[in-house]
Amino acid sequence: MKNKITRRNFINGTLMATGALILPFGCRNGTVLEALDPLFYPPALTGLRGSHPGSNTHAHSRAWNKKSDWGSTTKLMEEYDLIVVGGGISGLSAAYFFQQEHGKNKKVLILDNHDDFGGHAKRNEHTIDGQFRLGHGGSQSIEEAKDISEVVHALFKDLGIELERFNTAYDKDFYKRNNLGAVTYFNKDTFGEDKVVRHPYCNHPNYIEGIIMGEKLSNEDAAQQAPLSAKGKEQLLRVLNGGLHTIDVPKAELEDYIRSHSYFDYLKNNLGVDDPGVLRMARHSALDWGSTGADIMSIETAKTCGAMGFAPKTIYHEDDPNIYHFPDGNASVARALVKKMIPDVAEGNGAEELVLAKFKYAQLDKSSNAVRIRLNSTVVNVQHGGDPQDSRDVFVDYINDNKSYQVKGKNVVMACYNMMIPHIVQGLPKAQEAALRLQSKCPLIYTTVGLRNWKAIKEMEIGMAMSPGNMHQSLFMDYPVSIGGYEYTKTPKDPCVIQMVSCPYGETIGAPAIEQYREARHKMLSLQFKDYEDEIRAHLSGMLPKELFDFDRDVESITVNRWAHGYTVSGGGDSVKKGRQPFGRITIANCDSGPSASMKVAIDMASRAVKELA
């Protein structure tokens, strides 16, 4: 399996490099994708994906080293009505809204530093013993679907996204029918033995619609079965039975108290917890719901995020369940947008018909397109042609294959990470620049693993496994959705995709979030694919019964989607509003300007940015 994955990525990497080397950029309207081998198809790539190796190299050179000399710049004979920096859902939506507003004949160029469009909405394809399986590599669901703006609702209608379809597409009884519940896996390296306990010790798995929570064990039994010392078991039970009722403050003061006091202080001082195993379980119990470890959360935030020690509760309203999920996550939304703007890219109409479609990436940047998507192109400089208030043009410099190119546009929407904008856009007002620098993102890893069968998972009754001792703090059977001709795995004998989620934290417990993000990013990006593979090997092999699972036999493929800059983290105060203000012919989109990690907000911010263009 290891050699297969290594070779697969080597071959595709070679195709990418070859396409760049023969690129005729000295010619009029030259383009990367017209030069690519027809076999180039990013969704099927395994190994290190997400912010794949090389995708952030030039951006880091610009932000960290203030690099400005990129060698001679080729000024392409290309002019656009709009240039969009960032090809995620917000950038794609901005391009779509611009044509809606000004006409489908308007020329739009979308530039993105990755080799695929969609941003965090990444499609992972796995072929396992000849069977096709899909997974998401980041942006996963249309959450709280009944609470969407008119803008998003209208866009969904245009894209053929019918939310009612998920009432039957999502198999709500899958987990119950297969007796798959929320469990916790304790690994030997951290807790002294490999052990699965049929209890989640937190509320995190509740966001998976239909999963069986902690009904299989009482708190008392769950505490006794945890591989902890006698003192640790007693402290764990104290936490599981804890809650706001253990805080001795007047009821009228409780709300302010939990908002202003630390969750870890509550554990240590109110409940007397000092066992390192219990504290580790608590730190890793909220995962991506809070964007940080629970060690730096307030009591209120920890409770909201479902951290250990608060009574489990339903996360989504009964009339708005978390079922609005395409098999490839929100990549289906991105693909539907691209198909709408570039009709020849695939067969099919609407998001559902496109679920199984193989996109023709060579069509993305055709000179005949009104909308062009140019991948592997990192924007390093955006500058008005004159005074920002009077300029009629904006010049955009980008790097592709280590060469510098310039294009001209009448308008620009910056739909990239907002904290990069001060490093790219020249002449920003100081207050706006300072506000943008305050914005941040937390690192995340979404790994999809293609398994030849899930008999071992069925045997261990695993719907989701919280894993406080591992890099990936949770893993779960992917959302049970069949739609658009795609069929979810049916029986334990069939191939499947499992999702593994990692929210990397810093080594120093209690350190400020920004410091922990920086430390975690550095470690994440320094690891090679083999490091991730070894971790996943140890995780699955320690958790699953050896008589039913053999890593080399049963794991067909691994796709590690590393996002050094994942969920939006607001800079606080009014910094978001200050940062997103229009600047001449440049406006700002992306969910960061919401601020939120929600796809719905990304779309709304695109709409706003387009309307702000003069």
Kindly report the CA angle at 192 between 187 and 193, in degrees rounded to 5?
55
DSSP 3-state assignment of 440? strand
Give pLDDT, residue 614.
67
> What is the distance between the alpha carbons of residues 511 and 178, in angstroms, rounded to a whole number?
42
Strands 82-85 and 73-80: unpaired
Using the predicted structure, report yes or no on whether residue 25 has a pLDDT greater than 90: no
Largest interatomic CA distance in the chain: 75
Q: Would you call 580 exposed, middle or buried from its count of C-beta atoms within 10 A (0-12, 13-18, 19+)? A: buried
Give pLDDT, residue 145.
85
Using the predicted structure, report yes or no on whether residue 9 has a pLDDT greater than 80: no
Q: How far apart are the first and last CA of the chain?
A: 55
To the nearest whole percent, how much of the chain has pLDDT over 90?
87
Q: Would you call 124 exposed, middle or buried from its count of C-beta atoms within 10 A (0-12, 13-18, 19+)? A: buried
Give pLDDT, residue 374.
98
pLDDT digits (tens, 9 = 90+) for 69-81: 999 999 999 999 9
* Homologous superfamily of the 2-40+52-121+327-437+570-612 domain (CATH): FAD/NAD(P)-binding domain (3.50.50.60)
Burial 240-258 (b: 16+ CB within 10 A, else e): bebebeebeeeeeeeeebb
Helix (H) or strand (E) holding 169: helix 166-169
pTM recorded for the entire structure: 0.93
Which residue bears the tokens 């592997």? Answer: 376
Give pLDDT, residue 460.
97
> What is the distance between the alpha carbons of residues 86 and 156, in angstroms, rounded to a whole number?
21
Question: Are 82 and 100 contacting, i.e. CB atoms less than 8 angstroms apart?
Answer: no
Instruction: State the pLDDT confidence band at 30, using cuts at 50, 70 and 90.
Output: very low
Mean pLDDT of the chain: 92
pLDDT digits (tens, 9 = 90+) for 371-384: 999 999 999 999 99
Structure tokens at 331: 């990549």
> What is the distance between the alpha carbons of residues 280 and 293, in angstroms, rounded to a whole number?
10
Helix (H) or strand (E) holding 127: strand 123-128
Contacts of 52 (CB under 8 A, 6+ apart): 114, 115, 562
Give pLDDT, residue 602.
96
DSSP letter assigned to residue 492? T
**Count of Cβ atoms closer than 10 Å to residue 336 Cβ:** 28
Contacts of 27 (CB under 8 A, 6+ apart): none
Which residue bears the tokens 């052990």? Answer: 195
* Residue with more model confidence, 283 or 314: 283
> What is the distance between the alpha carbons of residues 354 and 333, in angstroms, rounded to a whole number?
10
pLDDT digits (tens, 9 = 90+) for 405-460: 999 999 999 999 999 999 999 999 999 999 999 999 999 999 999 999 999 999 99
Give the pLDDT mean for 7-18.
33
Q: How many helices (H) does the chain have, and how many strands (E)? A: 24, 21
Which residue bears the tokens 């798959």? Answer: 180
Give the pLDDT mean for 513-526.
94
Give pLDDT, residue 291.
87
DSSP 3-state assignment of 584? coil
